A and B are shown apart, each in its own frame.
Chain A
Amino acid sequence: MNCQDFEQLIGDLARRRPLDAGARRGADSHEQECARCAARLADERALSAGLKALAATMKESEAPARVEGALLAAFRARAAEDGHSAAPAASAKAEELPSGVLPFVGAPNDRQWSWRKTLGTAATAAAAAAVALAVLVPKGTPTKATKTSPAVAAVTPQVETTPAPRGGESERDAQTAQAAERDSYEADPPGVIPQRVASAPRAGGRVQAVTASYSNGGSRGGRQARAYQDEPEVMTEFFPVAQGGGLASGEGGHVVRVELPRSALASFGLPVNVEQSGGRVKADVLLGEDGTARAIRFVR
């Protein structure tokens, strides 16, 4: 074996990859004879050891638990959408799951009472229903009034949310966040990622609503993304969900966009347009750091 042959094998030798016996003997022999190649191999082994140490420092690195929570939410929403029977499995494991994890997906009959119970407060807010009706009116109707309605704010959970645009700096922040999100989606290939969690900035325990335009399947090309920019989303305030309502002070959160059967609106005491009752409605679910759903708002 000459130096060139040795060089071909040096990576495998340094990383202790399996070599055939003949090649191994030849390499060992050459290492004994050639000081330069021996030094070169020592360097490679040192590099391998360093890389191994580097890998070891990151061995325990994992995605935070909230990612799993968000993905499970998306999985259930998707399963419900596809008509899979994920809901029974989820029901059976309800005790194992953190409370409040997206109780709105799955078989509606199993869950309906829970929704009503949890959101009894919201249901009693008749004014909120009236405002929500304004949110859900057909496109083209002015919707500005819905954004700052005190009636809707009355059913906002204890979560300190920074609702979408309200003027001043928060409006600019929200617009920036929206633009950033839209930019990121423009780069996505068509149809990628029907739902997506947006990291909410953590500042003084306030969860800033990060809004984005989503499409479920179909093209999500730049043209469509730009089209959304001309048609701002309108959304309700957040409604508390199950027992998880509210984020603790200082706790961060995430917002995940999902699509639900339009009938879910009724569970929150919101009116449902009978003509569109078979359709779907977009919603943002606020997840706590532990992945449990804390609040929900509907989006149009």
Chain B
Amino acid sequence: MSASPKQTDAELLGLLLAGDEDAFTALYRRRQGGVYRFALQMSGSEALAEDVVQEVFMVLMRDGRNFDPARGSVAAYLYGITRNHVLRAFERERNFVRFDGDEDESGEAPHEGLISREDLLGDLTRAETVEKLRQAVLALPTHYREVVVLCDLHEMSYLEAAAALGCAVGTVRSRLHRARAMLAEKMRAGARREAGEAAGAVGGDAGAAGEVDTGRAPLRAARCFA
């Protein structure tokens, strides 16, 4: 039996474990993109993502027999391995992404150091906003970042994400809720900063501009994502 595009991931995994190179290639080509993007979105580093893809599939060919379909899909299994390797890479390279107070759940911008300080006085184009959002995602504490990446960027269901992360569905939901609140707050804070700087530059009344109302302005800023 050889691999075909119609075969499920689990079937391909079984074949590759039996030494079928076609099955390995098919499964790799089907899943490497997701694995790579997950690692990239978690780390912001293409080099790390490349290494992680390599490590994940090495683990798959060696330990693929550990896959248990009762615990989730092959994709979830791969994401789980990916996550472990990304976290391990963070441990190894603590200076790779600066995590000042990584486990701080206060939502008080624990990773401001990662957010770009570039001048935002120009018009906010969509691309710029998306880039700021990317940085905001990267600045989330790891356990919030991973749920945002899986559920929002990879559009996984809560159940799949829970299988990949090895936690309860309720945990995924609550972390995602909190993570999104943190993201929104980061974007609002950025918008407030921009508004303050813009007002300071135009009117010279920096004192007043720094006290921009916190009512509707943040909402307007957040809507510029759309």
User: CB within 8 Å of B: which residues of A?
Assistant: 11, 15, 39, 42-55, 57-58, 61-64, 67-68, 70-72, 74-76, 78-79, 82, 84-86, 89-90, 93, 183-184, 187-188, 191-197, 199
A11 B54 Cβ-Cβ under 8 A: no
- The CA of A30 and the CA of B180, in the complex, are separated in Å by 21
Provide the residues of chain A in CB contact with B22, threshold 8 Å.
89, 93
B1-19 near A? 1/0 per residue, CB < 8 Å:
0100000000000001011
Answer whether residue B197 sits at the interface, using C-beta atoms and an 8 A cutoff: no
Complex contacts, B57 vs chain A, CB 8 Å: 71
Query: Which of B59, B61, B155 has its CB near the most chain A CB atoms (within 10 A)?
Result: B61
Q: Which residues of B contact A (CB under 8 A)?
A: 2, 16, 18-22, 24-25, 28-29, 32-33, 35-37, 40-41, 47, 49-51, 53-55, 57-59, 61-62, 88, 91-92, 126, 129-130, 133-134, 137, 148, 151-155, 173, 176-177, 180, 183-184, 187, 219, 222-226
CB distance from B184 to the nearest CB of A (A): 5
Whether the pair B55, A64 counts as a contact (CB closer than 8 A) is no
Whether the Cβ atoms of A72 and B24 lie closer than 8 Å is: yes
Q: List residues of chain A with CB within 8 A of the CB of B133.
A: 50-51, 53-54
Partner of B50, one of A46, A48, A51, A67: A67
Q: Do the beta carbons of A51 and B61 come within 8 Å of each other?
A: no
DSSP class of B's interface residues: helix, strand, loop or mixed?
helix
Given the complex, which residues of B lie within 8 Å of A47, measured CB to CB? Answer: 180, 183-184, 187, 222, 225
Shortest distance from the beta carbon of A285 to any chain B beta carbon, whole Å: 14
Given A84-B19, A192-B59, verify A199-B50 contact (CB < 8 Å). yes
Q: In the assembly, what is the distance between CA of A135 and CA of B109, in Å?
A: 56
The residue in chain B whose Cβ has the minimal distance to the Cβ of A76 is: B21
Task: Count chain B CB atoms within 10 A of each CB in A52, A71, A192, A193 and give the residue with the most.
Answer: A71
The listed residue (B21, B91, B223) touching A89 by CB distance below 8 A is: B21
* Shortest beta-carbon distance from A96 to chain B in Å: 10
Contact B184 A86 (CB under 8 A): no
* Distance in Å: Cβ of B134 to nearest Cβ of chain A: 5
Subset of 24 A-B contacts with CB under 8 Å: A11-B173, A15-B151, A43-B184, A43-B219, A46-B225, A49-B225, A50-B129, A50-B133, A61-B40, A63-B32, A63-B35, A63-B49, A63-B50, A67-B50, A68-B25, A68-B32, A71-B24, A74-B61, A75-B16, A75-B24, A89-B20, A191-B62, A192-B58, A194-B58
Q: What residues of chain B lie closer than 8 Å to A62, measured between beta carbons? A: 32-33, 36-37
Measured between alpha carbons, how far is A67 from B180 in the docked complex, in Å?
Answer: 34
**B226/A58 in contact, CB under 8 A:** no
Q: Is the CB of B152 within 8 A of A51?
A: yes
The reply to whether B50 and A55 form a contact with Cβ atoms under 8 Å apart is: no
- B19 neighbours in A (Cβ, 8 Å): 79, 82, 84-86
Q: From the candidates B32, B51, B62, name the one contacting A78 in the complex (CB within 8 A).
A: B62
Kindly report which residue of chain B lies nearest to residue A8, judged by CB atoms. B177
Interchain residue pairs A-B with the least CB separation, the first 4: A84-B19, A50-B225, A49-B226, A63-B53
